[in-house]
A = this chain, B = another copy of it.
Amino acid sequence: MGITRTEIFTDEQNQLATLLKALAHPARIAILQRIMVANTCICGDLVGELGLAQATISQHLKELKNAGLIQGTIEGVSVCYCIHPENWKKLEQHLNGFLNEYKGPVSCC
């Protein structure tokens, strides 16, 4: 089968899973970190700085954009990416909401 059965889960669960999947790759984490550190948007630099082919970087950027985590604007011949402020905030909230459902270790296993 190989296809996630999203129908049996809540929208919340599916949305969080989708966001986490977008984050769950070292290249995409590295890309996001570089964007965050540089603050000012970069792009083609990424291809040189990470050791991946241009097509591969472009693909990862596309995934991050589809997930809404970054936004890109064309600047002449190059493209400038940066964090999507609102969605990043939403991600933080969504994620913290999930993590905080855990109320410390109680009598258990």
Contacts and interface: CB of A to CB of B under 8 A. Distances in A.
B14 A26 contact: yes
A20 B23 contact: yes
Interface residues of A, number: 53
Contacts of A10: 30
Contacts of A41: 108-109
A54 to B, nearest CB: 15
A82 B108 contact: yes
A24 interface: yes
9 contacts: A9-B26, A9-B27, A9-B29, A13-B26, A17-B25, A20-B24, A72-B109, A81-B109, A83-B102
